[in-house]
Amino acid sequence: MGKCKDLSEFDKGQIVMARRLDQNISKTAALVVCSRSAVVNIYQKWYKEGTVGHGWPRLIDARGERRLARVVRSNRRATVAQIAEEVNSGSARKLKRTWVLQQDNDPKHTSKSTSEWLKKNKMKALEWPSQSPDLNPIEMLWHDLKKVVHARKPSNVAELQQFCKDEWAKIPPQRCNRLIASYGKRLIAVVAAKGGPTSY
């Protein structure tokens, strides 16, 4: 049985999410393969401190977020390595903590050049099941958008852009809230299915 100190940040997050979704302690312990006391300790720490890990402060401020968004928008086909290189270029700030990168198994994320860059820069990547559905809620919104824009049958690029903007503006905030609220259930379903297909 896993003890608190043996659990990864991902495991600890699963415990918190399962308990927040009213999963009982025994089922949560079975899901993560750890002791019941580990579940209780992790959840209590989160409840009291708001964190299951080290509680590190954010490393990127609002200005950095805007810069990152500009870089990503300017080249949507860029690899993680290229984006990191551009964002960090000219930056004197060196990060002294261990990062764990979360990404799915999209070919651009698993390419030889990206893997080499991650290794060269000593970045760890979170293991991701090869057949796992995409758990990122934005992917659901992209699907919604693609469906309604396709139904409008744009005939040129200008129409496509306009239809995308129009339809994006129509997505109700409640849809986003539901996607975020269902994240824990989707995560539990994926873990229970060992990365295989789920009803989501």
User: What pLDDT score does 149 carry?
Assistant: 93
Separation CA 190–CA 185 (nearest Å): 9
User: What pLDDT score does 150 carry?
Assistant: 93
Dig out the tokens for 112 from the structure: 């030889």
173 and 141 together in one domain? yes
Asked, for residue 72, whether it belongs to a domain, the answer is yes
Paired sense of beta strands 100-101 and 124-125, if any: parallel
77 and 34 together in one domain? no
CA distances (Å), 13 to each of 73, 166, 170, 180, in order?
A: 30, 36, 32, 15
Separation CA 104–CA 80 (nearest Å): 12
User: What pLDDT score does 155 carry?
Assistant: 92
User: Can you give the pTM of this predicted structure?
Assistant: 0.42
If one counts the domains in the chain, the total is: 3
Asked, for residue 198, whether it belongs to a domain, the answer is no
User: What pLDDT score does 186 carry?
Assistant: 80
Separation CA 6–CA 34 (nearest Å): 9
How deeply is 119 buried, as exposed, middle or buried, from its count of CB atoms within 10 A (0-12, 13-18, 19+)?
exposed
User: What pLDDT score does 56 carry?
Assistant: 45
106 and 144 together in one domain? no
- Domain ranges, residue 67: 62-125
66 and 113 together in one domain? yes
pLDDT in tens, the chain (200 residues): 556 667 877 788 788 877 877 788 998 888 888 889 998 988 888 777 665 554 444 456 667 767 777 777 777 777 766 777 776 665 434 444 566 776 777 777 788 888 888 888 777 777 776 666 667 777 788 889 999 999 999 999 889 989 988 998 898 888 888 888 887 788 788 778 777 777 76
CA distances (Å), 141 to each of 20, 21, 52, 89, 137, in order?
A: 24, 23, 29, 32, 7
User: How many distinct helices (H) and strands (E) make up the chain?
Assistant: 11, 2
Separation CA 125–CA 129 (nearest Å): 12
User: What pLDDT score does 18 carry?
Assistant: 79
